[in-house]
Structures are given as C-alpha cells and as structure tokens.
Structure 1
C-alpha cells in the first residue's frame, strides 16, 4: 500500500524573478517583488529535516516547485495525498493556482479553499468583503497611476498608501503615511511605475502592530490555539527595506554582517487581555464566515483602549519567518519541521491512527 504523501508546493524566488524580468520589470524592482517569496528560499534548506520529520510520522515528504505542480499533482491518490501550498499569489506570484489544481485532481489540501487565496491578495476587494461582515477594517479608496478609481474617505490623521496586490506589507516607503491626498496620488504614481499596481489609500489608523498566527496542528484546534503578539520593529510600519533585511538572501547577508535584528514579539494578553479576547472573537467570526482554517494569520493595529483595526488576513503565512517559528515553539512546543509534519500526519491519519 502506498505511503501517505505530503506535497509542499512552492514558488521559488529565482523563477519569479526570471518571469518578471522577461515581462520588462526593472531589475531592482523585480528583485524586490520576488523577495516576498523568500520563505521558499528559507524553507528549502530545511527540506531534509522536513523529510525526516514526515518519515517519523509515516509520511513521504515531496517538495514541488510551482511550475511542476500541474504534472506532479495529476494522477495522485486522493485518499493518500495532502497538498500544502507554501506561497500564494494571483498577480506577481502564482501560488494561488496550487489549491485550484489540487481541487481539480480531487486532492485534499491544508488551508483555506482556493477562492480565499484570490480574495486575500486583493486588499481592496478583501476589505470590502470583511467590512460587509461587520469586521473593523479601515475603509479605503483606490488609485491607479495618479487617478482615483474610488475616492478615499476623509481623515483627520492622514492616509496610508500601499500596493493593492503586492505581498502583505503595510507600506513600501517611509512616506507611505501622508497628510494630503495630493501626496497619496503621487505615491500611487510611484507604485504604478515601480510595481504596475493600483494603490490602496486608507485613513491612517493608530496603534501597535499585531500578528495573530494559527496552525491547526490538532484537527479540532480553534481560537484557543491562536498566537497573538505585538510586533515591535522600532518603527510605526514595515517598509520594503525592512522586509528585505529579514528574509532570503538579504537576510542571510545581514546575519553574516552581524546587523540582522528581528522585531520583538510580546504576547498581547500580557498587557492588553481585553484586546487578546477581542482578537480571538474576531478570528472565530472569520473562521465561521470565511472558512479560514488549518493555517493562516491576521495583521492588525491595536490601540491602547483595545480598539482593533483589522488590516488583512493571509492564508499562506510565512512559515519559516521568525514570528511563525516563535508561535510554533510557544503554542505547540515544536520546531517548525516537526510542527508541519505533525499537522500533515493528523490530516492523513484517521482516528484509529491507521493510514487512510
């Protein structure tokens, strides 16, 4: 009888970079865009550890590059195959195709269904859907190359401008927070020129940055398994340069030079238990209404009085990133490879602990 198999589909930085250059992107900006796939680079060095961890749980581990996924998933045994998509994307990145390919082949997946892979990558549409569910999402306008597609609401605290479909960052440049709409339109021109993307323009919201991480290692895990932490990088928001200094080849270079510095993580419950409770309630609503499960993360801003602002959700959180590793250690007391392997085993093994 075939051994149950975990297939991890990932899009490499190099493949994305080559495609963007072929599409005419500037080399520097293409490298910035591809850097959002650094989790594929960072996790690849642990594939042997993942393979050993899976083997210990009676599974075969098979990493598959996205360009090979169509052929790799075809003909797999639906009862003995689990597909985990590491990298998402519907624009610059194409990982959102992987769960759709799995569904096409009748294969089970880790994570949300493929419709959410598309929704979470379009911040304007995602915000509209989350707002319709009554969740505390900042309202937004949308600009394209200096022209309004949707005018933003008024704001006494200025506005925040970010690409609509690129990665999961709160901003790109230090002036992403601006105080007049003329500046917002100018930033939208820069975003369009550099990344060919629309710009989301939201009223600036105060508070500290919070990351809520979830891994449903146990099948019935709920909001009690969330890890909710303040993320303190020493600045109000993360820029592209901040991101480049943390992950992939640039992050490794920073470690070599002794200048690598991870943001500090502080459990929200330690200082704002009310905010922790409200985030769990909000997450429970997302799990019920949108169908988030298995693995995901939320980015929020939290004010001192526990007021929440939901910035976005991700269905492919950066597994090898410092915050998710910390979450796996704190919540599940496991290193990342073992946490991934055990989660997959709990999906591929039935209640009688026999392969299905």
Structure 2
C-alpha cells in the first residue's frame, strides 16, 4: 500500500470466534449457536470483502477486513491521518464489537458511525429506553426482571406485555409466547431467559401495529433525515422470534437457502400508505440524531398503528448491512449496491 494512502478498516467479530468463546465459558453448543447467530452479518458480508476492496480501490482507497481479536494491534499501527474505522458488529455482553470504536478513539482514528458510548447504550434495552424516554421520544416504558424476580416492576397494560432479553442482540422476542397476558408468565419467561442466556428481561406494555424498519446511510457527511429509508417489514408474524432470525441470516440462513425454505420478509414503503407516519418517523430519527448522536449509519425499529401512532422500539448503531432490507435501501435511496455504497461513504470521509 502506498505511503499515506487512505484506508478503510472494517472491524468485525466472526460467529465462530464468539461461539468458541461462549462454549469455553460453559454455554451449551445449542445456546452458543443461537447467541453467536446475532453476528451473522459478519458471516454474510465476508464473501463480498473482495468486491468491497475493489470498490474502494476504484475510489483510491485501500481496504482491510480485520477480525476483532486482531484489531488492537492493527489499529495501534494505523496511520491516524489516513485511516477510517468502520465497526461492522457491536456488543458489550455476549459480543465484544463495541470495543472497536473505543480502540479507534484511543488511537486517534476517524470512525464511521456513532461514538463508542452509544455502542454500549444501544445494547442495554432497559437503559436505552430510559434515555429515549428522557428525550421525549415515544418509546414504551419498561420493567426489568431477573430469574423470576422484579428489579423494576412494569407499568400496567390492558393489552398485555411483551418480554425480551435485555442485552441479547437486537431482536424483539425469542419465543412465540413472548407476548403475555399476565405478569406471572412474564416472570416465567425471565426464568427461561436467565437459564438459557444468563440475561435479564425487559417487560414492556404490548403495542399494536405493523413492524417498521428505518435505515440510514450518510453517503455524504451532511446527509440528513431526508435520506432515511422507511419500510413496513411483513414477515407473516407479529414479531420476530429466534427461530425466524436463524432462518434468515448467517450459517443457518445459508442452510435454509440451500434447502429452499428461505423466505425474505416483504418490504413496503410506509409513505405509500401512511405518509403522516413516515413524517413522524423522520422527526423521531432527527431527535435521535440531535439528542442522542446517531450519525453516518444506523437503523431504527418501530411499530406503526393504523391511526399513525408511532412507537419507537429500539435503535441500532450497527445495522445489518448485508441483510435484505439494508441492501434494498442502498439500491432505492442511493442507486448503489452495498459494496459501492460503503466505499463511497468511506471516500467522502477520507477523500473529500
């Protein structure tokens, strides 16, 4: 690589590295497979690293994909004036990708995405929900339970409650019975989650509506909420379970494709049927950008009711870039495939 050539470093934690570490820590193989599956974008993007390198080269950039366990040494040697670090996989509990932006900051390197404090916040649903509420954003209030004991009791709810792990990945449910009608069942789910994953559960009032994903990539530094891609995600179910996730992404998703059982959810632009809800979501995203500090690349999960009531479920600082929805967003918003969209975003930061 020529001296001082601008370089994009993509840091990622592989599924297998996470799986091996979890097994060594005493998790059964089945649980370790489920947990490490949340790093599927590392698996799904790896076959395209050469394509991404070529897209970078066409823009005068060098490219390096770096596994998380090698990141400390690589980033310590990087040229701080010519290096951009993009963290592909996050995590503070089961996963460790949240260390990458902190390492980049330690070494004075430029980064794509939010600062490292948000990498920690977004992976703790109870704490992030409290912050979102303090910012006046429409996130459901929540209780917190650990192994059949309330740490914080949830608010009353005539519609029942929704139970999800507090720190495991970013999904909104694990089992089909994650929506509950009584709090005794919620405590039983907290026992099951603790036994399987050693995690607490967030218990929120159930909110009706259709699932929505808002995706964002700031191809240029000044890009704002006008570039959000906001779509209903129709998968045939009220919410996604662990089994649903396993069938879509990573190694298990590849098995589903080979078996002919893989089926992508249907995406439908929210603005086509509920333009008022689309406008509300853009205002919410603007609040996340100005009040929380989201930038460059992120996604937001929401629920939208027929009367345009919007519920903010969670935000992600490391959206699933190789997933069907983000690829669709890059094509629709920027007219680019994923590799070219990533490379062009890096170019505008390194070679303005």
Instruction: Give the TM-score category using the shorter length.
Output: over 0.9
Write out aligned runs for 1:43-82 (5 A): 43-82=45-84
User: Which of 81, 89, 92 lines up with 2:91 in the alignment?
Assistant: 89
Counterpart position of 1:39: 41
Counterpart position of 1:317: 319
* Structure 2: 5+ residue stretches without partners: none
Write out aligned runs for 1:155-174 (5 A): 155-174=157-176
When normalised by structure 1's length, the TM-score is 0.98
Write out aligned runs for 1:1-356 (5 A): 1-350=3-352
Please give the alpha-carbon distance, in whole angstroms, between the structure 1 residues aligned to 2:290 and 2:275.
23
The 3-state SS of whatever aligns with 1:344 is helix
Deviation at 1:250, TM superposition (A): 1.1
Please give the alpha-carbon distance, in whole angstroms, between the structure 2 residues aligned to 1:292 and 1:2.
29
Please give the alpha-carbon distance, in whole angstroms, between the structure 2 residues aligned to 1:348 and 1:146.
51
- The CA deviation string for residues 32-56 of structure 1, in whole angstroms up to 9 with x for no partner, is 0000001000000000000000000
Please give the alpha-carbon distance, in whole angstroms, between the structure 2 residues aligned to 1:264 and 1:182.
35
The 3-state SS of whatever aligns with 2:44 is helix
- The CA deviation string for residues 129-187 of structure 1, in whole angstroms up to 9 with x for no partner, is 00000000000000000000000001001110000000111100000001000000000
Please give the alpha-carbon distance, in whole angstroms, between the structure 2 residues aligned to 1:84 and 1:280.
25
Deviation at 1:75, TM superposition (A): 2.5
The 3-state SS of whatever aligns with 2:77 is coil
- The CA deviation string for residues 65-98 of structure 1, in whole angstroms up to 9 with x for no partner, is 0000000100211110000000000000000000
Deviation at 1:255, TM superposition (A): 1.0
The 3-state SS of whatever aligns with 1:29 is helix
The 3-state SS of whatever aligns with 1:74 is helix
Please give the alpha-carbon distance, in whole angstroms, between the structure 2 residues aligned to 1:291 and 1:161.
27
Deviation at 1:2, TM superposition (A): 2.2
Q: Write out the 4+ residue segments of structure 1 that deviate beyond 6 Å after TM superposition.
A: none
Please give the alpha-carbon distance, in whole angstroms, between the structure 2 residues aligned to 1:144 and 1:127.
17
Counterpart position of 1:354: none
RMSD: 0.5
When normalised by structure 2's length, the TM-score is 0.99
Please give the alpha-carbon distance, in whole angstroms, between the structure 1 residues aligned to 2:74 and 2:323.
27
Please give the alpha-carbon distance, in whole angstroms, between the structure 2 residues aligned to 1:247 and 1:285.
30
Please give the alpha-carbon distance, in whole angstroms, between the structure 1 residues aligned to 2:257 and 2:94.
28
Deviation at 1:217, TM superposition (A): 0.6
- The CA deviation string for residues 179-220 of structure 1, in whole angstroms up to 9 with x for no partner, is 000000000000000000000000100000000000001121
Count of residue pairs brought into register by the alignment: 350
The 3-state SS of whatever aligns with 1:45 is helix
The 3-state SS of whatever aligns with 2:111 is strand
Please give the alpha-carbon distance, in whole angstroms, between the structure 1 residues aligned to 2:157 and 2:138.
16
Deviation at 1:223, TM superposition (A): 0.3
